[in-house]
Amino acid sequence: MKVQDLATPSLLINREIMMENIKRMQAYANRYQVALRPHTKTHKSPRLAKLQEEAGAKGITVAKVGEAEVMAENGLTDIFIANEIVGEDKLNRIKKLAETIDISFGVDSIEQCEMIEKVFSDSEKAAQVLIEIEVGENRSGVIEEADYIRLVNYIMDCSHVNLKGIFSHDGHTYKAKDLEECRELYNIAQTRTLHFAKLAKDLGAQLDTVSIGSTPPLMHDFGVMEGVTELRIGTYILMDVSQGNAIGTYDRCAATVLTTVISKPTHERVITDVGAKGLTMQSRSQGICATTGLGYIKNSDGVYINQVFDEHAIIYNEKFRNEVSIGDKVEIIPNHICPVCNLYDYAYLVSGDEVVEDIPILGRGKLQ
């Protein structure tokens, strides 16, 4: 099938750009002799996760138990859930997965570990956990050293919980005002993570994994500090407008949304058939990843989506309006690709103007 024959809106992935992105990041990890564990919340597809593993990734990262289950059902056997998993139902599902695959997940409190110890009390395998360290994003993760020390000591006293390592996410680098600040925030985050790793080792804990990750710093050669064992990064495989802005080009953006021009009601307004339900309303307001509008028209001269309704994208650009006709199809590079992938049942892998493969997004909607 030709790309232009697809019904719209459709999610497209350029095969050559995606494979080059995969190879580039794997080469980066190899150069610094650290493992690469891609975060598959970006694409939610076992097919693409396997391509990443075939290129050399150690295993994969997911965000939710449901995503882990889908990946395991489709042959992925080394999975880290980079999130605090709370509740007996979800912990029992992890315990079931642990019978057949290597699975670990995040913790940041003794209360959570008490639940884990209870659920895994009748399991042949101890729960494998990594403590999350807050490094500046102001999200989850341990902040105070005293709390961390208590948590490490508690886990070491557990019979059914094993401390595999620690992890952090320097997501605040997205808001860095320039690359130098991005580098500084990244280095501070690494230093803090390694400090907490040393604290654990001083307490007698044997950490297998010290995991870091966020896309903006790792798109530049800022290096990896000694002691870090793993890079956890997601968006690099497909990229998007925000990441393209951070590196100064959209040439590495593999994913686009194909949409049809359905109306030109004024001398400057263009309407296409994808709205918030196929593109989201996400934008980034500051820093190196700041975006304009709600999506960028690929290969255009600065044409952006100005507004979206549920099923309509609105563009105000007289020049663009005069260049397109009703029925024309154009491609939009999303501002943030991760939630966009979660809106589609399939992505179409394309090469040139040919559709070469349908990629099921089997992790779509797996939020529990």
User: pLDDT value at position 217?
Assistant: 95
Q: State the CATH number of the domain containing residue 141.
A: 3.20.20.10
Length of the chain: 368
The reply to whether 70 and 23 lie within a common domain is: yes
Q: What's residue 23's pLDDT? A: 98
**Tokens describing residue 73:** 């059902």
Among candidate residues 237, 262, 277, the one where a domain is terminated: 237
Quickly list DSSP for 257-299.
EEEEEEE--SSSEEEES--HHHH-S----SSTT--STT-EETT
How many domains does the chain fold into? 2
pLDDT on residue 263: 98
The 3-state DSSP class for residue 38 equals coil
Asked if 125 and 214 sit in the same domain, the reply is yes
* Cα→Cα distances 367→15, 77, 85, 214, 238, Å: 27, 20, 12, 21, 21
- pLDDT at position 72, please? 98
**Residues 203 and 97 grouped into a single domain:** yes
Q: Which residues contact 275 (CB under 8 A, 6 or more apart)?
A: 308, 309, 310, 311, 312, 313
Decide if 288 contacts 245 (C-beta within 8 A): yes
DSSP 169-185: --GGGGG-SSHHHHHHH
Q: Which domain holds residue 331?
A: 3-10+242-360
**CATH code, 304:** 2.40.37.20
Give CA torsion, residues 281, 284, 289, 292, to 10 deg.
Answer: 70
DSSP 302: S
In terms of domains, do 202 and 88 share one?
Answer: yes
Same domain membership, residue 137 and residue 86: yes
Residues (pLDDT < 50) of the chain are none
| pLDDT tens digit sequence for 140-174 | 999 999 999 999 999 999 999 999 999 999 999 99
Mean of pLDDT over the chain: 98
Tokens of 105: 């997940």
- Whether residues 232 and 308 share a domain: the answer is no
List CB contacts of 338: < 8 A, sequence separation 6 or more: 41, 42, 234, 235
Per-residue model confidence (pLDDT) at position 85: 98
State whether 180 and 326 are in the same domain: no
In a domain, 365, yes or no: no
pTM > 0.85: yes
Q: Of 237, 260, 292, which residue is a domain's last?
A: 237
Question: Is residue 64 domain-shared with residue 126, that is, in the same domain?
Answer: yes
Q: What's residue 220's pLDDT?
A: 92
Q: Using one digit for the tens of pLDDT, what is the confidence trace for 222-280?
A: 999 999 999 999 999 999 999 999 999 999 999 999 999 999 999 999 999 999 999 99
C-alpha–C-alpha distance, residues 232 and 133, integer Å: 14
* 59 contacts: CB under 8 Å, gap ≥ 6: 35, 37, 53, 76, 77, 78, 79, 80, 102
Same structural domain, 223 and 344: no
Q: Which residue has the tokens 């859930």?
A: 81
Q: What is the DSSP letter of 115?
A: H
Domain check: are 182 and 312 in the same one?
Answer: no
Beta strand 10-14 with 313-316 is unpaired
Question: 166: which 2 tokens?
Answer: 């620690």
